[in-house]
Amino acid sequence: EVLSSSPTPTDCPFGFPVQRPLTPHSSPVAVQWQPTATRGWVKCRELISLLCTCESGDYYYQYTECDSTGSRWRVAIPLTPGSCLGLPSPTRGTDCSFSCPAGMFLEMSTQLCTPCAAGSYSLGSGLRFDQWDAIPAGFTSLASFLDPGPNGEDIQACNSSSWTPQGLYLESNRDECTVSLVYAVHLEKQGSVSFTYQYPDNNIFFEFYVNGRPEVSLKSGTNILYWRTTGILVGGKMVKPVLLKNIQIEGVAYTSECFPCRPGWFSPMPGSSSCQACPSNTYSGKGASACSACPEHYYSHEGWAECKVRPPCSEKDYFQIHSACDSEGKTQVLYRWVEPKICVENVKGAVNLPATGQREPCPPCNPGYYNSNDSTCLPCPPGTHSDGTYACVECPAGTEPVLGYEYKWWNVLPPNMKTSCFNVGNSKCDDMNGWEVAGDHIRSGAGSSDNDYLILTLHVPGFKVPASLAGMTGGEFGRITFVFETICSADCELYFMMDVNRKSTTVVESWEGSKGKQAFSHSMTRNASVTFTWAFQRTSHALDVRRYISDTVKIYSISVTNVLEGVASACRACALIPQNSQQAGSSCVPCPAGFFIDRDTNRCQECPPNTHLAGRHTYGRDACIACGPGSISNKEHSRCFSDCSFIHTENNRTLTFDLSPMSDAASLILGPSFTSKGTKYLHLFNISLCGHKGRRAAVCTDNVTDVSSKDEQSDLSQFFNTVDSFLCQSTIIPGDGRGFRLPISSQSISLADTFIGATVDTVLDGINAEPDLFPENPNDIPDINFFYRSMQATASCDQGRSSVITVRCNPEKSERGQLSVPSSCSAGTCDGCTFHFLWESSSACPLCTEADYHLIQGACKGGVQETLYMWNEPKLCTKGVALPSRSSTPCEVIALWLKVGLGVGAFVAVLLVSLTFYFWKKNKRLEYKYSRLVMSANKEGELPAADSCGLAEGEEFEDDVVYTKKPTLLGKLRAIANKEQGESSESVQLNSSQADRWVLG
C-alpha cells in the first residue's frame, strides 16, 4: 500500500504502532510506515498484536504424512490463515492402515468411527463415484488427436472432445480424438478399482490402465487411473460411445465424511454403505432419507429425481404375446401394458387395451420334441427323432440321430434360451423381458427406453461330431443358422455375438436399419461351450420419451448342428461295424478320417486320391469331391491345398513352376487412407499362397480388446481376436510416434478359408479373376490364378467373400516378389466381396529346360575351339536345368567343312573335264561319218558301192580328210534335220577311194 503524501495524524510514524478499539472478533493492528525517496510513504508490515481464541468452526483436522514407522499426527488447520489463535495442539493420530467399516466415517475430533447419517453413505475404506451431473473433483479429461500435426502438435479440433457427464453415467467422445479420463488416488494399503461400463462397438478402442499397466489392482501409494477411448471411423460409420458409471476404489486409509445420496436415491437408516433408488412414481432430492410420492397424473421411473405428467395411452404403450398351450392344446393372443405403466386411459384421445384374441390351436412342437399329454413339448429320448408333429421314433438300423437344435415355433421360450434387457444408464430395464414369443417368430419386446439393449441368448454346452461325420476333419464342429428381419424407422442395429467359454463376447456380425427377411450362417471352428447372443437397440441416443416402440426385429428360426446332448429331428446313415467284429452288426462306428460310407455295404471306404470330403455328409462316394486344378488333398482328405508347384502344357510345350519361395506368409500394406476427419489408417493384408499342407498360415489380430478380460490372466492370446486364413485383412491405425499410443489393429476378417484351385484360366467355380484390372502380361509365360473362397456370410456378401491371387513371371523381381492391387480398386476390391491381387516374382517363372538356352561356337584359334551356351533373351525361366559350362575342343586351321568342300569341288572338276573329253571324242566320230556321207553324195551319176558307203563299227579310215570350208554347228544341225526329213534331192559325189586327197569344193 503506497501513500502519495505523508500519513495523516491518525497514522503512526515509522516505528510507532497505533491502538484501535477492540471488537469481539477483531484484534489491534500495528501499522509501520516508511518514507521513500520519490513515492512517499510505504506501509511495510502489519503486526497482529492480539488474536481471539479459535472456535471449532474455524479449523479442521488433517493427518500428516506417515513416517517410516507407520505413524502420523493429527493437526488442526484454520479455515482462514491468521484469523484466530489457540488452535488445538497436534496429537498422535490413528495407525496409517486404520479405516472404518462400511457405513461409518472417521470423526476426526474424537478419532472414532461414527455411523453416517440417514441420506448419506460411506464405503469405509473406499470411494464411489456414481453421480455424473458434472465430472467430479479430481478427474481430468485430456484430449489429443491420433495424428499429430507436421511439427508434432496436436490438431486443435480435439480441444472440444471430452468425456461427457450424462447424469447417471459418463459418455465417451464419438469422434476420432483420443480422450483420457484421468484420476489420481493415494492409498495407504493395497486396494482395487471396479467400475461398470457399456462397450458395444468394436469401432472404438477402449483401454483402462493403472500406472500404465492394464490391471485393476492398486498398490499402496499414489495410483493414476486412465480410461482412454479412440474412435475408429473407417468407412464413415459413427461409433457408439463407451458408457462409464459406478467407479469404486478400495484401499484408501479412511473416510472422514459421508457422501450424500444422489437425487432419486435415498438411505433411510444411519450407517448405510449405499443408497437405494426411489421406487416408480416417487422422487427425491440430493441427500434424501426418504422418497416423496408423485402428485396425481404424474409419474416417475425408478431412480428419478422428478416427476412428469402422464400422457394419454396409445398403441406404443401395449404389446402382444401368446399364452402358453393349455390342456386342450389351445393358445390365444394376449395384450399387456408396457410396465411400468405411465399412460392414462380415461382421458380424451387415449386408447384402451385390446380384447384378448380367440383361442386357437397351438403350433406344433419344434423338431426333436414331442407333445406330452398336458400339451407341453418335451425333448425326444436319446436315439429317437421327431419333426415335432408326431411321437418320437427310434432311428432304424444303420442310422443315427441328427443331433442339434431347431427352433421354428415360438409358443414358449426354449429352456436353454433367456431374454433380458440391459442399459448401463437405465437400471429399470434390468428386470424386463427383452424379447417376446409370437407363434411363428420371436421378436424384440417393448423395453423401458428406446436405447435399451434387448438381449436374447442361446447357450450351447458344446459340440459333438456324429460318427458318420467323424471322418471329416475340415475344422467345422457345428453351424448356427437363423432367419431374421428388421423393421426400423430410426438408427436401429441388430448385433449377433458369440461368447466362447464365458470369457469375452465378440461381435460376429451386425446389421443397421431395416433388413428384409434373410438367413445368416456362422461356422464353429472350436469345440467349446458357447453362448450366442442377439442384441437389438432401437437407437443409440438416450431419449426421455419413447418414439420408436414400433421398431422391431423378428427371428423366425434358429438351428444349430452337432450339439452335444441335443435333440434329433431326423436320422442319417452311418457306418456299420465290420462283419468280422464281435459286436452287433447294427451298431454305428465312426469312419477314419478321409473315409466315406459305401451305400451298398454301409462300410467305410477311403476317398480316392486328390479328393476331399465336402459338405456335411459322408454317405456315398459323391461325398468325396475332386480337388480343383493345381491342388492335391492331404492324407485325411479333409481339404485340398497347393504344394506350391504347378504344371502347364500348351502347344506341345510343358512349363513346370516351383513357387516354394513364395510359400511363406507375405504382407501387403495399402494406404495411407484418411477418414472424413483426417485420421490416417492403413489396410493390411496377410497372404499365405500355399499354406502348409492346407493349414492356413496367414494370421490377422485385433488388439481392440475388452477391458474385462484383463483381470490377471496369464494367457495373453485371449486378449486378442485372431483370424487364421489363406488371406486375411486388418485395418491399422498407426501409433502416434510419441509412445502415447501403440498402433491399433482392428476389423480383422478372413478373405480365403478354402483353396479352390490354381489355373491359367480366368474363371473357376464362379469366381472371375478379371485380368483387365491389371496391366497386360508382357511375356508369353501365362499368369497363374489362385482362387480362394470364404463361406462366412456377411451383411453385404450373402455368399461369402472370394479372392484371386494372380501370380506372374517377372524376372526383374526378387524371389519373394512384389504384391499389388488394381489401380482402380485401391482397397483390393471393387465390390467388397471379391478381392484381387497381383504377385509378380522371378519365382513365378517356369523351371529352365534345354529349350531355354542355345549354343555358340567360337573360331578356331591356335588349334583350339571354344563352345559357349547362352540363355535365350529375355530369360523367362528360373532354377531347373543349369546352363552347361564352357568347353574347348582341338581343331585345325582348315576346317573340316572346308576340306570336304575342296575335295568335292576337285572331284566335280575332274568329272566335268572327263565328260567334256568324252563328248568331244564322240562328236568327232559323228563329224567324220557325216563328212564321208556328204562326200559320197556329191559324186555325179554314181552311186556309192556298198562297201564304200560307210565304215564298219570300230573301223578307222586311213585317208586324211581336208575341208575347204569347216561347217558350222548350225549347218550340221540343218543337215541332220534335212536328212531326218527324208530330203534326197541333193546328191553328193564321192571320189574314188584310191585318191590321195579329197577336196570338197
Indicate whether 826 and 870 sit together in one domain: no
**Is there a domain that residue 138 lies in?**
yes
Asked if residue 827 and residue 765 are part of one domain, the reply reads yes
**Could you read off the pLDDT of 556-585 as tens digits, one per residue?**
999 999 898 899 988 888 877 665 554 444
How far apart CA 535 and CA 200 sit, in angstroms, is: 10
Residues 519 and 652 in one domain: no
Residues 738 and 867 in one domain: no
Both 470 and 534 in a single domain? yes
pLDDT tens track for 673-715: 776 666 778 889 999 888 776 677 788 887 765 443 333 333 4
pLDDT in tens, 274-298: 899 898 899 999 999 999 999 988 9
CATH of the domain at 189: 2.60.120
Cβ atoms of residues 974 and 927 within 8 Å: no
**Rg of the chain (C-alpha set):** 53
64 within domain boundaries: no
User: What's phi and psi for 927, nearest 5 deg?
Assistant: -65, -40
Taking 3-state DSSP, the helix, strand and coil percentages for the chain, each rounded to the nearest 5, stand at: 10, 40, 50
Same domain, 233 and 380: no
Within-domain flag for 587? no
Burial 198-232 (b: 16+ CB within 10 A, else e): bbbbbbbbbbbbbeeeeebebeeeebebbbbbbbb
Please give the grid coordinates belonging to residue 4. 502519495
Residue 258 lies inside a defined structural domain of this protein: no
Q: Which domain-ending residue is among 536, 570, 604?
A: 570
What percent of the chain is predicted at pLDDT more than 90? Answer: 20
Number of structural domains found in the chain: 4
Whether 174 shows a pLDDT value over 60: the answer reads yes
Global confidence as pTM: 0.66
CATH number at residue 839: 2.70.130.10
Maximum average pLDDT range among 17-26, 56-65, 719-728: 56-65
Residue 794 lies in a domain: yes
Helix or strand (DSSP H, E) at 751: strand 744-752
Q: Which of 585, 590, 594 is nearest to 575 (CA)?
A: 590
In a domain, 530, yes or no: yes
pLDDT at 389 over 70: yes
Ramachandran sector of residue 632 (left: φ over 0; alpha: ψ -120 to 50; beta: rest): beta
Same domain, residue pair 870 and 766: no
Separation CA 445–CA 433 (nearest Å): 7
* Alpha carbons within 13 A on the beta-carbon side of 787: 20
Are 318 and 335 in contact by the 8 Å Cβ rule? The answer is: yes
Tell me: cis bond preceding 214? Omega within 30 of 0 counts: no
Distance between CA atoms of residues 143 and 539, nearest Å = 27
Exposure b/e, 420-452, CB count within 10 A at least 16 = b: bbbbbbbbbbeebbbbbbbeebbbbbbbbbbbb
Burial class from Cβ neighbours inside 10 Å (0-12, 13-18, 19+) for residue 263 reads buried
Whether residue 514 sits in one domain with residue 460: yes
Condensed to tens digits (0 to 9), the pLDDT of residues 775-827 reads 999 888 999 999 999 877 777 787 888 999 999 999 999 999 999 999 888 78
**What CA dihedral angle connects 131, 135, 139 and 145, to 10 degrees?**
130
Query: Does residue 949 lie in a domain region?
Result: no
Residues 668 and 757 in one domain: yes
pLDDT on residue 718: 40
Q: Do 521 and 477 belong to one domain?
A: yes
3 pLDDT band, cuts 50/70/90, is very low
Per the structure block, which three cell numbers stand in for 221?
501409494
Strand partners, 680: 674
Do 808 and 864 lie in one domain? The reply is no
Distance CA 346, CA 341 (A): 14
Q: What is the largest CA-CA distance in the chain?
A: 206
Q: What is the enclosing helix (H) or strand (E) of 903? A: helix 896-936
- The residue out of 790, 817, 845 marking a domain boundary is 845
Which amino acid type is present at position 216?
Answer: V
Task: State which residues form the domain around 445.
Answer: 320-339+358-570
How far is Cα 760 from Cα 779, in angstroms, rounded to an integer? Answer: 14
C-alpha cell at 430: 434390468
Is 945 inside any structural domain? no
Calculate the average pLDDT of the chain. 79
- 401 and 548 share a domain? yes
